[in-house]
Amino acid sequence: MDLGIKGRVALVTGGSRGLGRQAALSLAAEGVDVAVCGRSRETLDGAVGELRDLGVSAAGFVADIEADSDIEPLHSRAVEVLGPIDILVNNVGGSKAKADIDGTSVEHLRGTFDLNLFGGYQLMKLVIPHMREQRWGRIINIASIWGREHGGNIGYMSAKAALIGATKHAALSLAKDGVLVNSIAPGSIEHPGGSWERYRNENPPEVVGDFIEHNLPMGRFGWPEPVGDTVAFLASERASLITGACIVVDGGQSSSMI
């Protein structure tokens, strides 16, 4: 299937590993030129090499999405190297405290929102003018099933729920401008260096097996490729009637009916 996005330019945050790396690879496989950011030059160089091997232009930038001062320079450098951003994938996320309300300070809650919501929100504001001008744009925010229903810790759950809400509101505001805004809610996806790999390594096999048995209907953790390919589809011409949606990619893990 030709997704109709060859020659477009994408920016993927946290694109040097995990879901961000796979999103970048899935876009590059469709002929999209891709800029990625991350905290480690070594992993960025590896990801950029993989992207270029697919025959597209690619660039990697060291940036901290939590830091307000890094956001505008990241956008400016990506535009300078590859051109105006047609597709934005806000992938960076995580948690500053893995506790309930008693164990989570306001500072840690703010930090988790900075990581999951505010950095991506700033990038959305920066890319929208170009998208509006050309009357075409795609913004895809990587949320979580634990932003749609109970799960994880209070900071992560609250921040991902806010990201889904901001996605929906922005989508309705921009629909007439040809700018489509959607989110993806992955389930428990295992990848090298990720939290679920650490969970497997830090717990006895019977604990991991019990979690899988009671939470993962497919009998295994998820893997990155279906998430990356969903990103590519939502960025495509084939998804031209989809906006304001939150697409679940979780192997049946979540229990919500909406």
- As a whole number of angstroms, the distance between CA 111 and CA 119 comes to 11
Edge to edge, what strands does the sheet with 179-186 contain?
Answer: 58-62, 33-38, 9-12, 87-90, 137-142, 179-186, 246-249
Structure tokens at 56: 């597209």
The phi and psi torsions of 254 (rounded to 5 degrees) equal -75, 160
For the beta carbon of residue 203, count every other beta carbon within 10 angstroms.
Answer: 13
Catalytic residue among 113, 156, 221, 233: 156
Clarify whether 121 is annotated catalytic: no
Q: What kind and span of H or E run contains 146? A: none
Residue 119 CB-half CA count within 13 A: 31
Which of 140, 31, 23 lies closest to 89 in space, CA to CA?
140
With b for 16 or more beta-carbon neighbours within 10 A and e for fewer, the 139-159 pattern comes to bbbbbbbbbbeebbbbbbbbb
Catalytic residues: 156
